[in-house]
């Protein structure tokens, strides 16, 4: 038997046109749309994966959101790294349970949530206090308050100094990551991995130039493209729209 939905838990409603609505369940509250309302109380204690009707008869699928759903729908103060890049970052950085990760440029916490759910312990630097606060709230909302025990956020400028030591992995989402990489020689353990996410290829080139100056090897840069397919009976074709460029992922290994 599936675990019942609880107060405070995030839930996703999906209508017949695949429109998605993300919110936290709160006793006494109501979900409103153009198609009527659904009380939160009618969902709390009930199962996920079922369909419910609004006060005007509109049909919704009730499910627990995936991390991808949350990243696309959560409150944000900054542009997030999208799911198509988050998955590869976890693999390129080789995130493992118990990994000590230094993350700089927290934004709205999308990547932080993925790192924490993979079992990492994060030291995070964020220059803007409002972004740091938003990231912590988003993490707690999806992963629970206990996740904050592994999410050590500081309002710091990683361009100036980094105090963290004995770090296994580094993930950077900054306008100028080449200003941080030279400081990582004292932060990242030998054999550790650094991954930098950059929107433009000129940024990626500058990252590679700094990495080439050492102490890093096995540097590579990649771009992830995502194309969906329309499949409806015998009608099969690529979607007219695709998620092409979002950013470049550059990674390398720290060496002695």
CATH number belonging to domain 10-65: 3.10.330.20
Whether 69-254 and 10-65 are alike in CATH topology: the answer is no
Query: Does CATH place domain 69-254 in 3.60.21.10?
Result: no
Domain boundaries, the chain: 10-65, 69-254
What the block records as the tokens of 20 is 């998605």
d(Cα 198, Cα 49) in Å, to the nearest integer? 37
Please determine, for residue 68, whether its predicted confidence score (pLDDT) is greater than 90: yes
Average pLDDT, the chain: 95
Given pLDDT bands bounded at 50, 70 and 90, which one contains residue 106?
Answer: very high
Share of the chain above pLDDT 70, in %: 100
CB 172 within 8 A of CB 145: no
What the block records as the tokens of 134 is 């938003």
Q: What confidence tens digit (pLDDT) does each residue in 131-169 have?
A: 999 999 999 999 999 999 999 999 999 999 999 999 999
Share of the chain above pLDDT 90, in %: 91
Look at residues 168, 193, 170 and name the one whose alpha carbon lies nearest to residue 180.
170
d(Cα 6, Cα 35) in Å, to the nearest integer? 24
**pTM for this model (two decimals):** 0.91
Given pLDDT bands bounded at 50, 70 and 90, which one contains residue 1?
Answer: low
List, in sequence order, every beta strand (DSSP E) within 47-150.
Answer: 50-53, 59-63, 100-104, 121-126
Given pLDDT bands bounded at 50, 70 and 90, which one contains residue 2?
Answer: confident
Mean pLDDT of 73-77: 82
């Amino acid at each position: 038997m599936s675990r019942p939905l609880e107060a405070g838990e995030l839930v996703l409603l999906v209508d017949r046109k695949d429109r998605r609505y993300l919110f936290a369940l709160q006793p006494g509250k109501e979900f409103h749309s153009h198609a009527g309302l659904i009380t939160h109380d009618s969902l709390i204690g009930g199962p996920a994966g079922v369909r419910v009707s609004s006060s005007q008869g509109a049909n919704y699928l009730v499910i627990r959101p995936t991390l991808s759903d949350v990243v696309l729908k959560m409150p944000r103060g900054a542009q997030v790294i999208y799911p198509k890049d988050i998955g590869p970052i976890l693999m390129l950085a080789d995130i493992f349970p118990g990994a000590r990760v230094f993350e700089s440029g927290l934004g709205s916490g999308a990547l932080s949530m993925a790192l924490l759910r993979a079992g990492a312990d994060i030291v995070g630097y964020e220059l803007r206090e409002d972004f740091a606060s938003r990231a912590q709230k988003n993490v707690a909302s999806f992963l629970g308050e206990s996740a904050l025990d592994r999410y050590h956020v500081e309002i710091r400028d990683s361009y100036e100094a980094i105090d963290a030591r004995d770090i296994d992995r580094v993930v950077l989402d900054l306008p100028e990551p080449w200003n941080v990489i030279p400081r990582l020689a004292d932060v990242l353990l030998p054999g550790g991995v650094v991954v930098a996410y950059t929107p433009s290829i000129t940024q990626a080139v500058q990252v590679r130039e700094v990495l080439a100056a050492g102490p890093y090897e096995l540097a590579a840069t990649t771009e992830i493209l995502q194309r969906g397919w329309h499949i409806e009976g015998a009608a099969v074709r690529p979607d007219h729209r695709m998620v092409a460029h979002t950013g470049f992922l550059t990674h390398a290994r720290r060496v002695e």
